[in-house]
Amino acid sequence: MKRRTLIASAAALTAAPLSAPHAQKPAVVRWWYHFDDPKASPAALVAEFEKANPGITIQAENIPWGGGADYDTRLYTSIIAGNAPDAAMVKFNNLTRLLEMDALAPLDKLLAGWSGKADISDDLWSLHRAPDGKAYYLPVQYVVLYLYCRQDWFAEKGLKLPVTFDDFQTAAIALTGGDRWGFGLRGGAGGHDHWCSFVLGGGAKMVKGGLVAPPAIAANRWFVGLHTERHVFPPSAPNDGFQQIIANMKAGRTAMTIHHIGSANDMVAALGDKITAVPVPRGPQGQGWTSFGDGSNALLAQGKNQEAAWKWISYLSTGPANVAFNKLSGQVTVTKSGAATWDVQPKRFVEATVNSLPIAATLPSTPQTADFTRTVWPQTTQKALVEQITADDMMAIFEKHYFG
């Protein structure tokens, strides 16, 4: 994947101002959102928008994320029941499912007349283009996953921060002992991102036969063996989710884990300069893979107030409002104007994000991916990690799921 220069060298642009107050047919916009921090609230943004747009009321509903499964299930259920919100935050991995459900309103005509479009990178627009060539998602935030490291522990052992899989394994083994483990694996919901970094980064490919080819089998055997043979993951790893991997890192139980800049400030609050981040290690042939974490808004086709809902979601992706939104979300602004002066997280985590872009990618936007990330990956991987099935069985299940 080409390097995405979404932060570095961004030229500052003048943000589009809010429109002057004007008469508006009364409309209530139901908008679903989620933040990693459950205490974060967009109330100030809602108030500012409503002041500038009399007649529009934003009913912002914070839907629990639950590793993605809870949020997605509630969204799909609301659509089936005919009670979908007017707009909602969405991700790449449910685009195909939502299109199959005829649940999304295309945005192309709206984008053509939107002054904020030029302040978002062409790379982001290309990445967000649907398989049918249309635009259904409006970017609002992004992250790229990287590797957190306890640099003080690395220094004590005379270890270098990992660049390759060999570096990673050496460090993970050296830093495991007593009540410490080398790596905090997310084996529960959402942990496919960890697996992708090691197995897709190790040579597996999301094409027919690509998950059972020799490089894929070798990479997955190594990945599973880190737990079953080398014991560098905590015993709880098969069931650990986001909260557990972050808590273990902050409490000094793990030396490394994979997440993104959204948790950086929380990590620094707990560990200060002891914590840093680097791109996820690269595989034996120098290849690598890390997850490009998108966050977008979409208009739901069932929505009764699409014009008002568009005004709201486009406001959230415009200039200062987008910066303010991402200070709440803990992710990175999608605007070039905001990126030019981004200082929300310490520089080392921003650099790790930018330096990870050359290997950033997403899983295929297919119906199979939604089920893979929500149920197939965690259920199958947990069985392999507790040795109910073999690592090779695990890959055979994934191959069958995607390619029959």
* pLDDT beyond 60 at 1: no
The CATH architecture one would assign to domain 146-291+360-403 is 3-Layer(aba) Sandwich (3.40)
- Segment among 14-28, 158-172, 260-274, 362-376 with least mean pLDDT: 14-28
**Angle, to 10 degrees, between the axis of helix 165-174 and the axis of helix 214-228?**
10
Start and end residues for every CATH 3.40.190.10 domain found in the chain: 27-141+294-347, 146-291+360-403
Please state, for a pLDDT cut of 90, what percent of the chain lies above it: 73
- pLDDT value of residue 37: 81
CA gap 148, 242 in Å, rounded: 14
* pLDDT beyond 50 at 9: no
Please state whether beta strands 360-361 and 138-144 pair in parallel, antiparallel, or not at all (unpaired): unpaired
The backbone region for 299, taken as left when phi is positive above 0, alpha when psi lies in -120 to 50, beta otherwise, is: beta
Whether the CB-CB separation of 30 and 86 falls below 8 Å is answered with: yes
pTM (2 decimals)? 0.74
Mean pLDDT estimate for the chain: 90
- pLDDT value of residue 255: 98
- pLDDT value of residue 38: 81
Token digits of residue 149: 């490291």
Please state, for a pLDDT cut of 70, what percent of the chain lies above it: 93
- pLDDT value of residue 251: 98
pLDDT digits (tens, 9 = 90+) for 269-289: 999 999 999 999 999 988 999
Please state whether beta strands 87-90 and 290-299 pair in parallel, antiparallel, or not at all (unpaired): antiparallel
Task: Give residue 13's pLDDT band: very low, low, confident or very high (50, 70, 90).
Answer: very low
| CATH code 3.40.50.2000 for 27-141+294-347 | no
CA gap 72, 90 in Å, rounded: 9
**Mean pLDDT calculated for residue range 199-217:** 97
Please state whether beta strands 146-150 and 256-259 pair in parallel, antiparallel, or not at all (unpaired): antiparallel
Task: Match 């990956």 to its residue by tokens.
Answer: 377
* pLDDT beyond 50 at 8: no
pLDDT digits (tens, 9 = 90+) for 31-84: 999 987 888 999 999 999 999 999 999 999 999 877 666 898 999 999 999 999
